[in-house]
Amino acid sequence: MRQLFAVDAAQDALGNAEPLPAIFPKGMSPIIGLAADGSRWMAQAHWGFVMPPVSKKTGKPIQPKAVNNARDDKLRTSGFWRKSFEERRCLIPATSFCEAKGHNPATYVWFGVTAQGARPPFALAGVWRSYKGNYGGGELREMITSSMVTSTPNALVKDTHPDRMPVILHPEDYTQWLTGTPNEAFALLRPFPADRMVIHQSGEGLKSDHGGLT
């Protein structure tokens, strides 16, 4: 991943990270962000911006929610997302992503991109921010949190998920996403071409990708 995303070894906080069969909401996953000096760093991030809710009955804080996805049409209008989109964009490495179709039972469809190799890696557009507070049974935690940006689906994904799909970035656009102005970054939020994608596997009970996530 350091080679793919131009991260210096000194800026890699992952260590000897193992491939992951799946990354679920509220789980930890690698992201690539931009340091103040313009270099790229890589670290583990909690998937989901933490939103600490308050009990309507008692008025006391309750277990925080994790907001996993940031809609492209909310990035510049919602105060929840705006500052992160303007100042803290990131790349989220993956080899595939999953969408569920139907219920009881659901069919899990794993999508990827076409390139060299059986499961070529790619990057999803993401945003990040720091969180410090109570989380997970009242435990005080300090961590990086991330959320992936979604847009309208292309023809391949639409049959499974008719409303949204994660934004896959072209490799030549990684720098623009990380360093560009908000307008330049927003211009990249479009469906990835369907003819450059593939379904790796689909079926019932396939919540984990047998090929793994990078």
CA dihedral of residues 85, 51, 129, 22 (deg, nearest 10): -100
Structure pTM?
A: 0.90
Structure token digits, residue 36 = 């103040």
Q: pLDDT tens across 143-188, in order?
A: 999 999 999 999 999 999 999 999 999 999 999 999 999 999 999 9
Residue 137: the pLDDT is 65
Q: Which has the minimum average pLDDT: 28-32, 62-66, 199-203?
A: 62-66
Q: What's the whole-number average pLDDT of the chain?
A: 90
31 located within any domain? yes
Residue recorded with tokens 């109570």: 134
198 located within any domain? no
Q: How far apart are CA 178 and CA 7, in angstroms?
A: 13
Q: Which domain holds residue 14?
A: 9-96+118-193
Structure token digits, residue 131 = 């969180």
177 located within any domain? yes
105 located within any domain? no
Q: How far apart are CA 152 and CA 161, in angstroms?
A: 10
Residue 172: the pLDDT is 97
Domain count across the chain:
1
Q: pLDDT tens across 51-102, in order?
A: 877 777 887 767 778 899 999 999 999 999 999 999 999 999 999 999 999 8
- CATH code of the domain in which 57 resides: 3.90.1680.10
187 located within any domain? yes
Q: Which has the minimum average pLDDT: 134-143, 181-190, 205-214?
A: 205-214
Q: How far apart are CA 166 and CA 149, in angstroms?
A: 6
207 located within any domain? no
68 located within any domain? yes
136 located within any domain? yes
The pLDDT of 129-137, averaged and rounded, is 83
Helix (H) or strand (E) holding 146: strand 139-151
